[in-house]
Chains A and B, each alone.
Chain A
Amino acid sequence: MKILIIEDEKQLAESIAEYLAGESYLCELAGTFKEAMDKIYGYEYDCILLDLMLPGGNGLTLLEELKKLNKQDGVIIISAKDALDDKIKGLKLGADDYLAKPFHLSELGARLYSFLRRSKFDSSNKVTINELEIDLWARSATVNQQVLPLTKKEYDLLLFFVGNKDRIISKSALAEHLSGDMADMLDNHGFVYAHVKNLKRKLAEAGCRDFIKTAYAMGYKWEP
């Protein structure tokens, strides 16, 4: 799948590209407004990661341009301007998601994954990983046709893992993801451990293999 990363900070853009490259994502970079414009006009992308503050122009203008061209590319805004107004404006203009900088790459991975599944797959919206099947629409998971009794947080966690296949996900990233609006208020990671433990137990009880591996002492890895 083709992803366009419009981001003027080269270091950040490269990290994103490198992180996403492992999955079947093909990333292209655009560092300026003009570069981005050229790429948008010339090619089709499954998803565009769009920074709002660019040399030569505003990201929101690019978004407007994209909609005028009637392109179907998905757009996830990644912006340091953590202003509610920008977020509302962006989403109104047709952006599919908004991620405030700084973010964990695994968070971006998970968002991108769910966005692409939602938009590309048929109406059933199902993801199958060996014996595990996730219904994105119904927000439920089944193992061998048996529905897992997951809490909302456990389901979120599962999706987060699936979206970051074969990557090591730090507990910090999981803690922020699970805390939502409350992110980074407290950094005890104990509750992350508790949720992961419960998820693993429920998967195991349903007869699913243990895909969640502990990596070092500080993260997890989803290895189907």
Chain B
Amino acid sequence: MRKLLNQTLIYYSIYALVMLLLVTPFFYWLSLKLHLDDVNEAIHLREKEFWAEPKWKLLSPENIAKWNEFNRDIKILPDTVSVAKNNIVQQVFYDELDDEWEPYQVLYRDVDTQAGKTVLMIRINLIESEDLMQTTALTSFLILLLLLIGFVVVTRITSSTLWSPFYQILQQIEEFNIEQKNKPDFPETKTAEFQNLRQGLEKLISENIKAFEREKEFTQNASHELQTPLAIFQSKLDMLLQDADLTEHQSVILQQLYDASARLLRINKNLLLLAKIKQQHFLRKEPVNVRGLIQEVLPYFAEQAEEKALSFGVDLADDLLIEANKALTEVVINNLLMNAIRHNVQKGSIHVSLSGNILSVANTGLEAALNRKTIFQRFSTSSTHAHSSGLGLAIVKKITRLNGWRVDYHFKNHLHVFSISF
């Protein structure tokens, strides 16, 4: 990904480069033409001056020789010229002084002197104009180079001043976490677009927070409201059980009602936990020994595993000390272990291991991988297990995200493996 400003810079640079390639030859051509025009004008001027003095008609061959000896660029030559006359042409001449061939603008014109049919030659050296043109080309190149450097500098300055509100807003949005309620405080700006962006985002965020709060409050209220009828329901079951005249059939139904009520309670309790995870007393952190926590609860789960005759493998290499909320860490460990038992098969196995900062719980179960995308969502259990609340993994996910841990799932060697990197 490229940064916005760098992208602008790339376009500017491409434009500047194109201009450089187009403009430099044009400049070169233009200055060349101007110079030639100048030179030609000078030639015509000299021609006019020469013509204006009619004494040249009296020049004898000796005089012509003398003339030619002292005039380098205006000469009277015998008529042996092959190029077109009365037109300025470009020719190269050998320069004895510099010992090299040099370009000239030349004009030939017939002049009849005492020496008979002769030709007047007026020429101007172009060697200086080459330097001039090189300078021109170099200058235009330099200007464009300066322009390019200017673009970079200006872009840097704009990014640090003009675009700074944008980057600040961007950073705050990245840091924004709806569960932490830290509503971003966007910077004041005088740029209309950023102001609009700011207002739009503020509206969006406050509505999001409101919706989030409403959902949480609703869950919490609903769970609380459910607790009382559930309590009554359960107490009435307890009373019904005291009835001496229950038939066997009725007692079976009663047991089923107990099971259903237990499941209701579990769902309700977990919903409440999900809604309350962000509450104050769950935000308190303390040093937690993950290995110690696992060892504390293992006897309970080992006992629970007996009913399915599961083989329980434990491999806790080292202590792992983390800074976290103890109650929530316990919930994560409990939920993972509970899942490993609940979704296991008769005579299956469970393997719990802790190495480095990774806790993994592997268990046998369904012979197919679960959907990694949905297992951590609420009520997404793939098997409609009678005792499942459908919330255990959603709670795990929420707690791990809250603490910046990573929870992962994969199915390998007939084992469902859940791992957490603390």
What residues make up the interface of A, taking CB atoms closer than 8 Å to B? 9, 11-12, 15-16, 18-19, 80-82, 84-85, 101-106, 167-168, 170, 172-173, 179, 182, 184-188, 190-191, 194, 215-219
Contact = CB atoms under 8 A, between A and B. Distances in A.
B342 interface: yes
Contact of A217 (B234, B251, B262): B251
Interface in B204-242: 224, 227-228, 230-239, 241-242
Contacts of B254: 216, 218
Q: Mostly helix, strand, loop or mixed at chain A's interface?
A: mixed
B342 A186 contact: yes
Nearest to A195: B303
19 contacts: A11-B235, A12-B232, A19-B235, A80-B224, A101-B228, A102-B227, A102-B235, A105-B238, A170-B238, A170-B241, A172-B259, A184-B265, A186-B387, A188-B308, A216-B241, A216-B254, A217-B255, A218-B241, A218-B258
A85 B281 contact: yes
Contact of A104 (B227, B238, B259, B272): B238
Chain B residues touching A, range: 35 or more
Given A19-B242, A102-B235, A187 B306 contact: no
B133 to A, nearest CB: 88
Most buried by A among B238, B246, B297: B238
B248 interface: yes
B223 to A, nearest CB: 9
A130 B9 CA distance: 96
Contacts of A172: 258-259, 262
Contact of B238 (A15, A80, A101, A194): A15
Contact of B269 (A168, A184, A215): A184
B260 to A, nearest CB: 11
Given A15-B235, A105-B238, A182-B297, A80 B341 contact: no
B291 to A, nearest CB: 19
A15 B232 contact: yes
Nearest to B238: A105
Contact of B300 (A11, A19, A182): A182
